[in-house]
């Protein structure tokens, strides 16, 4: 009988063996963040709705169309987090983390929720790995943040991606650009909805997917050309810091991030093997966000990397038949016990081998030797042993190498030593 339940539409789920790759991605992305002194922050999955309407911004699709908002039993409006930055800043303010030495460096990973139209690489529940560095506007920090994402992708073995960066400048630069952009947009023949969107945030029109708008916007004034001397100098410093690390980038002055809080350096990582949902990560600086949410006037910068899309990108880059890192469950030894006495002895043997660091599985239940051997084979274990009454009496077992079938007679007391020797000869 087939189950009448199915996962909700558009959510991503990871089952073995793909879940092993998922875990490997998270563990690998953490390495460069930990090496740069970032620490874990674990936050609620839902927050006050207003945190996002204010923090993420009223002109964004995320806030106007994509939030999962509900009322709790006390009549409060709550929203499943659509992104991580607003929550991190809320926690930094609430718990006074910015009273410690600056910048505060935090990383997080977990599920996020956006009610989008599901398609390949675009889900309603998806996963991000993110970092935020709060309390310094040093351009070297911008480059550090970008390099942490870059190193993470590289450590995973990804190759076919490009870093795109631009700068939204400081507020003076944005004000002078906004004046010209508003005047330019006023001269366009736009429908009412688009015009209203442009009134809230004219930069959104650069992100419009319709050909006629794309066409019209191709002549629009670009913010990058309006940076004042200070903002320009800052952007130059970020770029030369990236150069010094050998990190290649493309300047993309038409990049529009989907969230309103960005200022200064913004960036995206784009993968060539994913079709329409090519953004595998993005981020940038947010000068006013902390103040907007009721905190002090501190700048911050961070990124969110899409774990689902990184997994798809790894799969897209893999050669046919190639195993991805972490895909193969690794087991050193599969232990098959036959008979009550052997089962009780094996139970403690398995326990002690695991404590010595070996990955060991044992058969459960009263299976025939044939069925147990089949399970050992399926498990992918490198070695297997069978322990019955005669092995118990002699104190030695035949260690079977599963790939070749080769047998080595080993004393039970030196099983760990033999396994270690054979593993180091890998």
DSSP state of 206: G
CA distance 4 to 56: 38
Query: Encoding tokens for residue 126?
Result: 């998806």
User: Could you tell me the smallest distance in angstroms from the CB atom of residue 372 to ligand HAM?
Assistant: 42
Report the residue number, 304 or 415, with the smaller CB distance to ligand HAM. Answer: 304
Report the residue number, 121 or 264, with the smaller CB distance to ligand HAM. Answer: 121
Report the residue number, 205 or 259, with the smaller CB distance to ligand HAM. Answer: 259
DSSP state of 119: B
> Residues touching ligand HAM: how many (CB under 6 A)?
26
For ligand HAM, the binding residues in 79-98 under the rule CB under 6 A are 83-85
Stretch that binds ligand HAM, among 119-127, 151-159, 323-331, 363-371 (CB under 6 A): 119-127
Q: Which of 107, 123, 334, 383 binds ligand HAM (CB under 6 A)?
A: 123
Report the residue number, 131 or 387, with the smaller CB distance to ligand HAM. Answer: 131
Stretch that binds ligand HAM, among 14-22, 122-130, 351-359, 385-393 (CB under 6 A): 122-130
User: Could you tell me the smallest distance in angstroms from the CB atom of residue 16 to ligand HAM?
Assistant: 21
User: Could you tell me the smallest distance in angstroms from the CB atom of residue 426 to ligand HAM?
Assistant: 35
Q: Which of 105, 109, 122, 400 binds ligand HAM (CB under 6 A)?
A: 122
Q: CA distances (Å), 64 to each of 114, 192, 316, in order?
A: 11, 16, 33
**Nearest 5°: phi and psi at 177?**
-70, -40
Site string for ligand HAM, 49-68 (x = CB under 6 A): --------------------
The alpha carbon of residue 397 and the mean position of all alpha carbons in its chain are separated, in whole angstroms, by 45
For ligand HAM, the binding residues in 129-158 under the rule CB under 6 A are 130, 132
Q: Which residues are 281's β-sheet partners?
A: 269, 305
Q: Which of 47, 308, 361, 391 binds ligand HAM (CB under 6 A)?
A: 308
Q: CA distances (Å), 233 to each of 238, 256, 342, in order?
A: 9, 21, 74
Report the residue number, 45 or 186, with the smaller CB distance to ligand HAM. Answer: 45
User: Could you tell me the smallest distance in angstroms from the CB atom of residue 280 to ligand HAM?
Assistant: 5
Report the residue number, 169 or 302, with the smaller CB distance to ligand HAM. Answer: 302
* CA-closest candidate to residue 411, choices 423, 394, 425, 426: 394
Q: How far apart are the first and last CA of the chain?
A: 45
Number of Cβ within 10 Å of residue 187's Cβ equals 8
User: Could you tell me the smallest distance in angstroms from the CB atom of residue 374 to ligand HAM?
Assistant: 39
Tell me the residue length of the chain. Answer: 426
* Helix/strand/coil for 317: helix
User: Could you tell me the smallest distance in angstroms from the CB atom of residue 212 to ligand HAM?
Assistant: 26
* CA-closest candidate to residue 183, choices 219, 214, 147, 156: 219
Q: CB-based contacts of 240: which residues, under 8 Å, 6+ apart?
A: none
Task: Using DSSP bridges, classify how beta strands 39-40 and 104-113 pair: parallel, antiparallel or unpaired.
Answer: parallel
Number of Cβ within 10 Å of residue 106's Cβ equals 23
For ligand HAM, the binding residues in 267-306 under the rule CB under 6 A are 279-284, 302-304, 306
Residue 116 in the binding site for ligand HAM (CB under 6 A): yes
CA distance 217 to 204: 11
Stretch that binds ligand HAM, among 28-36, 37-45, 116-124, 389-397 (CB under 6 A): 116-124
Helix pair angle (192-200, 171-186), 10° resolution = 160
* Helix/strand/coil for 319: coil
Q: Which of 309, 313, 334, 336 binds ligand HAM (CB under 6 A)?
A: 309
Q: Which of 60, 128, 164, 363 binds ligand HAM (CB under 6 A)?
A: 128
Residue nearest to ligand HAM (CB): 306
- What is the contact surface with ligand HAM in residues (CB under 6 A)? 83-85, 114, 116, 121-123, 126, 128, 130, 132, 258-259, 279-284, 302-304, 306, 308-309
């Amino acid at each position: 009988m087939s189950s009448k339940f199915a996962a909700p539409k558009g959510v991503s789920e990871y089952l073995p063996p793909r879940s092993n790759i998922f875990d490997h991605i998270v563990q690998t992305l953490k390495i460069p963040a930990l090496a740069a002194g970032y620490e874990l922050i674990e936050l609620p999955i839902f927050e006050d709705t207003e945190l996002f309407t204010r923090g993420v911004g009223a002109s964004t699709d995320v806030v106007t169309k994509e939030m999962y908002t509900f009322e709790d039993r006390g009549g409060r409006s709550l929203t499943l987090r659509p992104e991580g930055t607003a929550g991190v800043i809320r926690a930094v303010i609430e718990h006074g983390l910015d009273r410690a030495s600056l910048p505060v460096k935090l990383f997080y990973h977990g599920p996020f929720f956006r009610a989008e139209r599901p398609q390949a690489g675009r889900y309603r529940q998806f996963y991000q790995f993110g970092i935020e560095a709060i309390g310094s506007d040093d351009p070297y920090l911008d480059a550090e943040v970008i390099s942490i994402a870059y190193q993470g992708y590289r450590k995973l073995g990804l190759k076919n991606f490009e870093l795109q960066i631009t700068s939204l400048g400081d507020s003076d630069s944005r004000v002078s650009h906004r004046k010209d952009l508003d005047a330019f947009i006023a001269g366009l023949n736009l429908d009412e909805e688009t015009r209203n969107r442009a009134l809230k945030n004219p930069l959104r029109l650069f992100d419009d997917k319709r050909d006629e708008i794309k066409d019209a916007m191709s002549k629009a004034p670009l913010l990058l050309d309006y940076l004042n001397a200070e903002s320009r100098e800052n952007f130059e410093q970020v770029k030369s810091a990236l150069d010094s690390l050998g990190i290649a980038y493309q300047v993309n002055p038409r990049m529009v991030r989907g969230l309103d809080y960005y200022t200064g350096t913004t960036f995206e990582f784009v993968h060539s093997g994913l079709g329409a949902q090519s953004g595998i990560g993005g981020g940038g600086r947010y000068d006013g966000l902390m103040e907007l949410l009721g905190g002090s006037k501190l700048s911050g910068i961070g990124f969110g990397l899409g774990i689902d899309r990184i997994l798809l990108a790894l799969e897209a880059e893999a050669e046919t038949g190639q195993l991805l890192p972490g895909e193969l469950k690794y087991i050193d030894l599969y232990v098959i016990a036959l008979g009550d006495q052997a089962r009780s002895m094996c139970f403690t043997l398995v326990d002690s081998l695991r404590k010595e660091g070996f990955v060991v599985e044992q058969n459960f239940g009263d299976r025939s030797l044939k069925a147990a051997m089949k399970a050992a084979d399926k498990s992918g274990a490198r070695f297997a042993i069978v322990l019955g009454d005669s092995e118990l009496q002699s104190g030695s077992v035949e260690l079977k190498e599963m790939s070749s079938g080769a047998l080595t007679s080993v004393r039970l007391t030196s099983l760990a030593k033999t396994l270690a020797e054979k593993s180091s000869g890998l």
